Amino acid sequence: MSEALRESGATGEVVILTESAPTAATAAAQLGCEVGAIANSLIFDADGEPLLVLTSGAHRVDTGLIARLVGVSKVRRATPEFVKAATGQTIGGVAPVGHPAPVRTLVDTWLSKHSVVWAAAGHSHTVFPTTFDELVRITGGTPAEVE
C-alpha cells in the first residue's frame, strides 16, 4: 500500500499500529488524537456502484443525503464481498487509494478542521497521516457535508 500511496501523491508514511483499529475510536486512542481526525473509509452500494465516503470519525453518514448528493435512488452499506471487489481490501482497513479501478469518492468537509487527518492504509493495523486537501487531491474526491 505504501507504493500506491506514493503513486497517488500522498506524502505521509504508513504507520503500523500495535493493535487492530477497525473503528475510529480505537484508531484515535492508539494515535492520541481526536476521533474527528480519523478519516473513516466507508464503502457504500449506490445503486449497484461503489461509493467511497471518507468521513470524520465523529460523524455518521446520512445515506439519504448522500443519495441526493450523488444522484442515485438508494445508498446502502456495502457487504464485505462488495467492499473487497470494489477496493481489493477488507472492511476495517480500506485505504482511500490503491483500488483495482477508481471509486467515486466524497470527502467529509469536517475533516478540514484538523491539520492532520489519519486514514487507513489498506489493513486494520495500518494508517497514514494526511490532510483534507491531500485526500481530495489523491482520490479525485468531492468535498461534501455527509451528516
| pTM higher than 0.75 | yes
Nearest by Cα to 41 from 83, 100, 71: 83
Query: Scanning the structure block, which residue is given the C-alpha cell 460523524?
Result: 59
Residue 2: pLDDT over 90: no
How high is the pLDDT of residue 21? 87
Q: Give the rounded percent of residues in the chain with a pLDDT score beyond 70.
A: 100
Average pLDDT, the chain: 95
Q: Write out the three cell numbers for 123.
A: 489493513
Mean pLDDT, to the nearest integer, of 7-31? 92
List pLDDT tens digits, range 86-133: 999 999 899 999 999 999 999 999 999 999 999 999 998 999 999 999
pLDDT category, 26, cuts 50, 70, 90?
very high
